[in-house]
Structure 1
């Protein structure tokens, strides 16, 4: 290409519809190929630089950071990978904005005397919100000898999925849930049931059985059936009996009923979880209560 068919930095900027400063910025970063140098040492550009400048502008219009643009142009990363990363970042920002909008409405719509308390709850939760504190709560609450695989299953079922577009009520429920799991445990101990103690038997056998029992009870709850004896209850009691190396007998069921009645409760957690998810699927807490009620109902019938 002859010097007459190349463009100065000003001519390239005019053809691309950008400022000279913009062309110089990308040229200094090595993103625009020079075709030649003038006799005075000034940069001269050809069509390849114009095409490259158009591509850069398109990528920057998508709000890709300059280092990401450089990696695409240098082919260190594929365009698909960079776009996927940008979509993840935008998704995170959208989640934060939706949370903030619902939180603002929560403050706007409440009575003046409630605003200070709600602001404290909102301010304690990171944006976008994270369920990591809830997962930590469950990992502390579960027996330490529980296999990692089983613990992960229980945590997955116990930690709610946050809604993509939360309502003010869901924001309030989650901030209260966050406050609940991050507050010091009241009284002595960790609020754990007797099954977590030294005499609780094998927690891996217990929780493996409880996962199955809860799944069976969930179908009963979704069908809006009253607590009753049956496969779900038998699986529930069997999990406790097998974990202690004993048989499921009427005497064992009576003892288990008394133990479960005396165990610490975290009903507040499950109530708030149901509000956060607004899902028709029952929480593990609801299924546990259904099974306890089924056990007590069976024992009452036996006594009669």
Structure 2
């Protein structure tokens, strides 16, 4: 506005005076003015900028928002929000907090990767560098999810597939140890390596039962794994019982059969012939286990335990 509509020219400050009062450079004041964040009150006869005293508080607010690393578009939204400024500022701060959290996770991952390289035996250095170099920072779980989607039945109901992926795909830890970085890098390499036959091997049960049967199977297996979990944690020897009964029932439901002695013998033979992902689950356990904690049993560990229990049950009954 012109001086005739507000303060007189005598009450206005030059750009240098405003910069001095605010403790910033003239270049900064000019930058915010040119960007429309700091309006001028008037121009002198020679075309020089003049600012009203209230520009000082506005400039201080801009500096505070920038000190929080809020981007200029967010600063502009706060300044132009009027009565809604508090809400807009809250949203902007929340968004920046999320971004800083992502940056911190990336830095922690990079730190653990650097420690992994520093502690690496010379003979393994080249291989580890290749593994780490193939990852984003922090790494994405998308390749692992794609691997399992190729493994699962193509028409498996979305809720059942999502529930399985939640269990099967480990999230990169926020504060990883070098061993967890290495384990995740190996999982990435394993799940992105070309399949020799051009596609992931499918368990026989997927082909035989179809999508609906597979959904019933995975729901039943999840229950069996949960029951077997305490036995696996306590390192109990595999044995028949409630967990094995739930395990066999899951397969019987998928195949449309009944839990009989003959079915248990046939199931053991089928499972022995199916592709295994033992190494995947071993690495998953490393990724998911916090330093100093006992490893939580993965579905792979529970499945191994239950298969062994089935073999023992068959052998004990003279199968």
TM-score by length of 2: 0.90
Any stretches of 5+ residues in structure 1 without a counterpart? none
- Give the Cα separation in 2 of the matches to 1:202 and 1:45: 74
> Aligned pair 1:134/2:149, yes or no?
no
- Give the Cα separation in 1 of the matches to 2:278 and 2:115: 27
Q: Which residue number in structure 2 is paired with residue 285 of structure 1?
A: 300
- Which runs of 4 or more aligned residues in structure 1 lie more than 6 Å from their structure 2 counterparts after TM superposition? none
TM-score by length of 1: 0.94
Q: Which residue number in structure 1 is paired with residue 268 of structure 2?
A: 257
- Give the Cα separation in 1 of the matches to 2:208 and 2:199: 14
Which of 130, 152, 161 is the equivalent residue of 1:151? 161
Deviation string 1:157-212 (CA, Å, 9 cap, x unpaired) is 00112211111111111111100000012347522211111456811211121111
Which of 218, 227, 232 is the equivalent residue of 1:221? 232
Contact 1:193 1:264 in 2 (8 A): yes
Q: How well do the aligned residues superpose, as a CA RMSD in angstroms?
A: 1.8
Q: Which residue number in structure 2 is paired with residue 301 of structure 1?
A: 316
Contact 2:138 2:172 in 1 (8 A): no
Contact 2:203 2:275 in 1 (8 A): yes
Q: Give the 3 Å change call, closer, same or farther, for CA 44–199 of structure 1 in structure 2.
A: closer
Q: Which residue number in structure 1 is paired with residue 35 of structure 2?
A: 29
TM-aligned CA deviation for residue 250 of structure 1:
0.4
Deviation larger for 126-135 or 199-208: 199-208
Q: How does 1:47-66 map to 2 (within 5 A)?
A: 47-66=53-72
> Aligned pair 1:245/2:290, yes or no?
no
Work out the number of aligned pairs and report it.
304
Deviation string 1:218-271 (CA, Å, 9 cap, x unpaired) is 132234332222221111111111112111100000000111111111111011
Deviation string 1:72-105 (CA, Å, 9 cap, x unpaired) is 2122871111111111221121111111111111
Deviation larger for 118-127 or 105-114: 105-114
- Give the Cα separation in 2 of the matches to 1:242 and 1:143: 16
- Give the Cα separation in 2 of the matches to 1:150 and 1:294: 26
> Aligned pair 1:73/2:83, yes or no?
no
